[in-house]
Amino acid sequence: MSEFLWQARAALVVAKKNAMVYYLKPPVFTFGIIFPLFFYLAFAAGHAAPPETMAPGIVAMALFFTASAVGPLVTPWERQAKTYERLITSPASLIAILSGDVLAGTVFGAILALLPLTIATLATSASVVALPSIALGIVLGSLSFAALGVLLAAPATQGPSQVMMLSNLVRLPLIFVSGVFIPLSQMPAWGRWLAPFSPLSYCADLIRAGFGEKHYWSTATDALALCAFITCFMLLAARWHRRTRDRAI
């Protein structure tokens, strides 16, 4: 039990280090909020949808980008700064290090997602009718997206640009098949077949339910699917990071 508590404390230390060194920077906030907002508005410009119906999609997009934005870059930055070897040879286990990375991304994404959520409820007629669905969507969604970001940081490279190319190659398709722009019920058959493979689909579905809009799956299905994605991403991240760590030592 004492070992578990020590590793949990190590994870918190890693999360605090990541927050102070990598997350609390103006460009990160700008990218996390401005980019998904304009990305969504650019798509919605050609659609005559009322502003309140756009609120769930903007919140889900902001959560997706903020929670997964920095995670893929942390390990390459550590390698560039020559601190990666010191970190992986510390008493902290690999799981504790990865958990700290995920925790930092989760908190960062969840907090920044509250900004578009607040603006949507104050500036439009959108209102939260099911708070548990919103909370589940934000918490489980940010955990899933942060875990995905940590998984994408596993390739053994010191070049952040290479990781960003891989990150965008994975994240952008997940956005377009998630039903964020177009409700899943209105997507073509191939889109509905692909949507379950994106964690953003279930997060957006929960947030839509929280705003009282028609959702595609049940709350339980969305929550269980996100938990499955979190588990899968963490297991894959631990295995892949372990391989690259062993090569670095």
What's the pTM value of the predicted model, to 2 decimals?
0.89
pLDDT reported for residue 224: 97
Say which residues have a Cβ less than 8 Å from residue 133's Cβ, sequence separation at least 6. Answer: 206, 207, 209, 210, 219
**Residues 210/128, Cβ–Cβ less than 8 Å:** yes
Q: What is the pLDDT along the chain (249 residues), one digit of tens a residue?
A: 588 888 899 999 999 988 888 877 766 666 666 766 676 666 666 566 666 677 888 889 889 988 988 888 788 888 777 787 788 788 889 899 999 999 999 999 998 888 888 888 887 888 889 999 999 999 999 999 999 999 988 876 666 677 777 788 888 889 888 888 777 888 888 888 999 999 999 999 999 999 988 888 999 999 999 999 999 999 999 999 888 776 655
pLDDT reported for residue 159: 66
pLDDT reported for residue 145: 95
What is the rounded CA–CA span in Å between residue 145 and residue 102? 9
Q: Output b/e per residue, 101-115; b: 16+ Cβ within 10 A.
A: bbbbbbbbbbebbeb
Structural Rg of the chain based on CA atoms:
18
Whole-number Cα distances in Å, 222 to 118, 200, 233, 249: 23, 10, 16, 40
pLDDT reported for residue 91: 85
pLDDT reported for residue 40: 66
Q: How many CB atoms lie within 10 A of CB 6?
A: 14
pLDDT reported for residue 182: 77
Q: Which two tokens stand for residue 240?
A: 């892949």
The answer to whether the Cα torsion of 52, 54, 60, 64 is positive or negative is negative
pLDDT reported for residue 164: 76
Identify the DSSP state of 22. Answer: I
Say which residues have a Cβ less than 8 Å from residue 228's Cβ, sequence separation at least 6. Answer: none
CA dihedral 149, 155, 161, 166 (to 10 degrees): -60
∠174-175-181 over CA atoms, to 5°? 145
What is the rounded CA–CA span in Å between residue 37 and residue 140? 21
What is the rounded CA–CA span in Å between residue 120 and residue 110? 16
pLDDT reported for residue 201: 95
Residue type, 116: P
Q: Which two tokens stand for residue 231?
A: 């588990």
